[in-house]
Amino acid sequence: MAHGRVTGDFFVTTGAKPDEEEKRWARELCLEYGVDYLPRERRTLAALKREAGREAALVVARSGWRYCASDSVLRFHPGMARARLHNLERGRGDPMVTAMGLRRGDRVLDCTLGLASDAIVASAAVGEEGRVEGLEAVLPVFLVVRDGLQRYPAREPMMEAAMRRIRAHWAEACEFLAQATAGDYEVVYLDPFFEKPVAASCGIAPLRLVGLHDQASLRAAAERGLEIATRCVVVKGSRESRFLRGLPVTQVVSGRRSRVEYSVLSTK
């Protein structure tokens, strides 16, 4: 299976007062992914960074894992997924779900998992009969988000079930799709970083600092997705985006007052 890439030179540690299970999580993580482990031993994170000569650390804690890089901290949070699920429950719909034409039992591949907000909504829409898989190429982002999907206390049963069902992979989209076969998914989804960031989207600002901005690779993934998906490829972003130039856009779906658009590339 294809793997992603490690972005940045980081080490793994724990919270300030870890219990034995947190220490075990950290050690096992380092063994699995070949990352250095520095015991906390009541030292500050800044002191550990100086000792390691590195600017970034993945902190493993029962309260949630976090990636601390320079002045930026990335934590898992579901973003607007909660509000969007409330809309689905009330029959108000969701533009992304509409663009994908999602039905219960569908299989969706999210090639740009990020903080998984879109994947959570898709997972709720396809239900337990369906399947949502998410790809994240940046190792520390993948680890933070995978942990969040498994352990974040969602409180609402619908949202918690949707989160727990998502299968996250540390993988780059092009390499993963190269190993997929036609018919594996009804929908392939991509959310490239906006060329002009939306000012209100401050919640993903740390993700923009560490995430991959390789649009050429994602564009190739979109083209490959058209060979794999049985229904469509959906790309999130403005219809004026350079990313979409030359791609077979057949429909654009957006909310009434939203700046976000979903371009549908039909496989038929």
Which of helix, strand or coil describes residue 96? helix
The predicted pLDDT at position 164 comes to 97
- Joined together, the tokens standing for residue 217 give 């690779």
The predicted pLDDT at position 237 comes to 84
Which of helix, strand or coil describes residue 254? strand
In 56-106, DSSP assigns E strands to 56-60, 66-69, 72-75
The predicted pLDDT at position 244 comes to 86
DSSP 248: -
In the chain, which stretches have pLDDT less than 70? 1-8, 193-214
The predicted pLDDT at position 196 comes to 39
Q: Name all domains of the chain by residue range, CATH numbers in brackets.
A: 10-75 (3.40.50.10480), 81-266 (3.40.50.150)
CA-to-CA distance for 100 and 192, rounded, in angstroms?
A: 17
The predicted pLDDT at position 8 comes to 60
